[in-house]
Amino acid sequence: MIAHVERNRRPVIGICAVRERARWSFWDQPAHLVADSYVASVQRAGAVALLLPVDDEAPVELLDRIDALLLIGGADMDPSFYGAERDPRTESTYPDRDAFEIAMLRGAIERGMPVLGICRGMQVLNVALGGTLVQHIPEVGGVAPHRRAVGTFDGTDHVVELEADSLAARAAGELAHTARCHHHQAVGELGEGLVVTGRAQQDGMIEAIELADGAWVLGVQWHPEADERSRLFASLTEAARSASKAG
């Protein structure tokens, strides 16, 4: 019976959480947070969502307890992690989160574990492999084309053109993907071993990167958790299931 349960268990996707002050019920104190949109997307895809709290010791043994890793959106990365001076337009940063996610990501890649990086998560992937970031995307006519209003995806729907036969295209299930975004930074110099497999049709902005060696490691600049039609979480779940069986 135990073996039967093990063979048919749902894959576990670890989601790196955010550590910051929050208010709930009677409390106002530091908390480890993940937006429900990410958790719900993982659960709808048939996987177990396991929140991974920021840990200053970066215990990569946490990876032994999951089948895939998910890096979510959020604050800017501290430019010290990619050797740059801080631009005045760089917003709030959390170096403890940066260090934790970089360590977890590198450990996942070493293990051959499926990884999906969303928005900031894609930028973490690039920096973790030696790349850099553009600290502020130039505005067009006073408007930020990829983040028109803070805290909403309104007005950011745009087409992303994906490379044929890429992991990004297979995961999305199409070559022209309508996406929603919310970012003011972007990938600069590409990290080692990465290739660009998606760009915004409107301005050529890098929207998808992945490992050139074919491993299931994908970064997307858009937010699939904001679109229930997205196939990315189902694709990650299937990759996690396959990895679990192989292990």
**Domains, the chain, with CATH or none:** 2-246 (3.40.50.880)
Out of 101, 207, 210, 225, pick the active-site residue: 225
Q: With a cut of 80, say whether residue 155 has pLDDT above it.
A: no
Residue 141: is its pLDDT beyond 70? no
**Phi, psi at residue 81, to the nearest 5°?**
-75, -15
Our answer to whether residue 119 is catalytic in this structure is yes
Q: How many other C-beta atoms can be found within 10 angstroms of the C-beta atom of residue 166?
A: 19
Question: What's the Rg (C-alpha) of the chain?
Answer: 17
What's the number of CA atoms in the CB half-sphere (13 Å) around residue 102?
A: 20
- Dihedral sign, Cα of residue 47, residue 223, residue 20, residue 60: positive
Active-site residue among 16, 182, 223, 238? 223
Residue 146, amino acid: H
Given this model, what pLDDT does residue 98 score? 97
Catalytic residue among 119, 183, 207, 238: 119
- Give the pLDDT of residue 185: 85
pLDDT tens, position by position, 79-95: 999 999 998 888 889 99
Q: Which helix (H) or strand (E) holds 28?
A: strand 27-33
The share of the chain scoring above pLDDT 70, in percent, equals 88
Residue-averaged pLDDT of the chain: 89
* Known catalytic membership, residue 223: yes
Residue 58: what pLDDT? 73
Active site residue 181: no
pLDDT, one tens digit per residue, over 114-136 is 999 999 999 999 999 999 999 98
